[in-house]
Amino acid sequence: LPMAAAHPQVLAVAAQVAESSERDIPLLLLKLKGILSSPSLGYEGSKKIKQDIYDYGLTQYCLLVLRQDHSRLRGGWATAAQLAEVLSHCCVGLEMKEDPEEFYKKFLPSAIDSLLVLGKRLQARFIRAIKDKEKQDFLHWFQTVTNAICWLFSGHIQLAACVLKNDRFLQLLITDDVETAIIMMSVLHNILRINSSVLLQVDKETLHSVLDELVYKLSSTTNPAVGSAVTKLLLLVAKLCKQLVQLLTARYKGLKGLLNEQWTGKGFDRELNQLLDMLYLEQPNGKGEMQKQHQAACIIQAMWRGFQTRKRLKKLPQAVTTLQRSFRAKREQELQHLTKQKEDEALKLQMQLQRQRAMRLFHERQLALLERVHASQVNKYMEEMEEKSALTIQRFWRGYRARRIFHQQKQSLKEYKAAVIIQRAACKFLEKRRRRRPLSPWKEPKGLTDEQRLALQQKVDDYIKLHPASQMSEEMSKELHMQAQEKLAQFLLRSRLDQRAAQRRETLLAQVNTDVELLMNAPGLAETTERDVGVFMSRSVPVATKARQSHNTMLKYTRWPWWKKLGDEFMEDDVIPDGALNTELETLFIGGRK
């Protein structure tokens, strides 16, 4: 073990790991995660802790645990995923000065291999899982392990080539599962972003295997997420080296056609167009120019078809709404017409029945009257009835004719009223226009003649003689000025005093409100603490003394015998005699101090 002073928490974990059984070691190693994530650690402190963890062999313990059967660990696959994260954090930022070859060439590649093995096992478990909850858990743990791998080779760039050369990385990439494939392509994207020349460092077989898998994913799936990820990866590969663009063009003859036909308009056209441009630039000029024109024509046609489709779809709801509205209106009109027709028929039948009933009653009444009338009066009665019937018929006829004439004159009456309204508006307009006419230019009044001026001066002199002006001496003016100054000073002084009194009243009112709020929110005596008592104590010595005296006086007054209060029957309950308040100062109580 190292002789230098180690971090106490790391030393405690190392001691527990050395004394514990093999089954408890994984959970003990998880304590390193809390130690590494402590916010109080700086860069140097974190570096020192990672060095202590490596020196005490805890990093090697994490590596050994990751190689075990994770289904038998306490915590299962979740513990394994967390240990992978701990291992990557312990290795990043660690600089080995003693025996660096052991760390960089043996330990780190072994850690990468263990993490890839763990990722492969999690991927297999995720594909075989049936329940949604299990699939979500395995996918989360798989994401954690891949993040640990990315974190590890981001801290040690030389590990990027080690990851690509590992056969298990290619096994993870060769999968038909969409979720894990997208995650592995994001890992490959991070590798290329961190080490741009890594594809030139690996052998051709590995490079061809990776590119073959990416192109196969483009040709075998229609998922936009997979297509977008592969397109971005190929674009990044093409940007890294011109040699790789030539390789893509020469090895995959139908790649451009595949990209044009299958992946155009899937939501990542910008990256797709950039990749196609780079691929077309590697062809001869004539053929490349023709391909560009063909691609431009396809884009224009696609945009035009999309515009026409969106236009038709935009008008479709309006046309459907109009059709539905007209159909409902027509159906409503038909229903109203049928209802009105039925009502008219029912009314017509009802009127016919009423008319027949009225005629029957009329004839019955006539027969009854004729039976009562004498034979000599029958002719006279019939003449009277004929006259009344003629008058009734004439009355109804005149009413009908008057209504018909009124309806005929109704339009002319409406036109007459409209003409009156128009004439009234025209008259108002002409009147306003007349009022807006400019006034005649100013004509200077004629000057007064000498005779008129003398007559006017004579009138002014006569008025002054009849109404002489009152005069005031200089002493009276000064005295009046002094009186005005004194009244003004008195007013200013009184207003200043009133303002001060108003401010004092507002201050006292605010203080009373504060005290009332404190008393309302104060706890009971059984629950009162020293802190609560300090709120009601004043830091002013005179105020505290006066409060103490008033409190003692109130207590003494309430304890007086009844015969001492005989003279206070007509006093209010909350008023204390002035004599009771005039007590001597005995002890001083200073509130708010110990």
- Identify the residue with better confidence: 246 or 285: 246
Using DSSP's 3-state secondary structure scheme, residue 222 falls into coil
Per-residue pLDDT of 68-97, as tens digits, reads: 766 666 777 888 888 888 787 788 877 777
The chain-wide mean pLDDT, for the chain, equals 79
pLDDT of amino acid 582: 47
Helices (H) and strands (E) in the chain, counts: 25, 0
- Burial class of residue 399, CB neighbours in 10 A (0-12, 13-18, 19+): exposed
The average pLDDT across 163-174 equals: 82
Tokens of 29: 């190693």
pLDDT of amino acid 578: 52
pLDDT of amino acid 2: 43
- Identify the residue with better confidence: 93 or 4: 93
pLDDT of amino acid 349: 92
The average pLDDT across 102-119 equals: 82
Using DSSP's 3-state secondary structure scheme, residue 583 falls into coil
Per-residue pLDDT of 427-450, as tens digits, reads: 999 998 888 866 555 556 667 788
Tokens of 72: 């038998």
Do you know the residue count of the chain?
Answer: 594
First-last CA distance in the chain: 55
